[in-house]
Chain A
Amino acid sequence: MILLSAFLTGWLTGLAYARWQKRSYQIPKINCLWLAFVAFIPQLLAFYLPVTRAWIPDTPAAASLITSQALLLVFAWTNRRLAGMWLLIAGLALNLAVIIANGGWMPISPETAGHLVPAAVVQAMNIGSRFGYGKDVLLLPEGTHLGWLSDRFLLPEWFRYKVAFSFGDILVAIGIFWLLLRQGVPLRAILFR
C-alpha cells in the first residue's frame, strides 16, 4: 500500500504538472514491457492471489520471489534511461540482496512485527517462520544478515495503517514518484538541451 501510494501520488502530481504546462501526460517508450508482466506472475501467484498463495509451499514461494525480483531487475536495467529508474534499481537490488542473504525472505524482527500484529500472535510464532502470507520471515536481529536492509522502519504511531518497510522500499517509493512526476524525462535532458 505504501508503494502504491507513492505510485498514485507521483502519477497525480505528474498529471497536474502536465496540465499546468498545457500538454498531455505521457511516458516515453518502455523497453521490454512484456518482461514486467512475466516477472510479476510468480509473485502474483505466491503472494497476492488468495486462491494460489494458500497452497504454494514456502520453499517454491521463496524461489519465486528471488526469480521474480531478478527478472524485474533486468526489466529496470533495460529502462535505466528513465528518470528515477536508478533509484528503483538501487532499491530493488538492496531488497534482493537482503532477501537472498536470508534464505529467500525479507527479515523482520519480533519487535517490529509486534507493532503490526498483537504481541501474542508474534510470541506464538517460531523464529524463522514465515510472517503470514507476505514476503517476510521472523528473525532475531542477531540472526539476520544485512539487518540494516530488513523491514525495520515503521510509520508514525498516529497512522492507523500499520506497515513495516525497508531502506530499499524507501528508494523504490522515491524512484517511482520521481519517474511518474517527471514522466520518465531526466532533469539533465532539460538542463543540457
Chain B
Amino acid sequence: MKNKLTHLSFLVQKINRQHIQLVFALLALAMLVLGAGAPETGGGIIGR
C-alpha cells in the first residue's frame, strides 16, 4: 500500500504545470478546428 502511494505521488509530481498547459492548448486548438471547419459526413443524415 505504501509503495502504491509512493508511486502515485511520483506520477502526480511528473504531471507538472507545463503538461497541463499543453493539454489545455491542444484542447483549445481542437475546438478551433472543429468549430472552424464544416465538413459534412455521410453519417450526419441518420436520425433526422
Nearest CB on B from A4, distance (A): 7
> What chain A residues lie within 8 Å of B34 (beta carbons)?
3-4, 40, 43, 48
Find out whether the CB atom of A76 lies under 8 angstroms from the CB atom of B26.
no
> What chain A residues lie within 8 Å of B38 (beta carbons)?
95, 99, 106, 134-136, 151, 166, 168-169
> What chain B residues lie within 8 Å of A54 (beta carbons)?
47
What secondary structure prevails in chain B residues at the interface with A? helix
Give residues 14-48 of B contacting A (CB, 8 Å): 18, 22, 24-48
Name the interface size band of chain A: 35 or more
For B39, the closest partner residue in chain A by CB is A165
Can you list 16 A-B pairs, Cβ within 8 angstroms, ordered by A? A3-B34, A25-B22, A26-B18, A36-B29, A43-B34, A75-B32, A92-B36, A106-B38, A113-B40, A132-B47, A134-B44, A165-B40, A166-B37, A166-B38, A168-B36, A172-B33
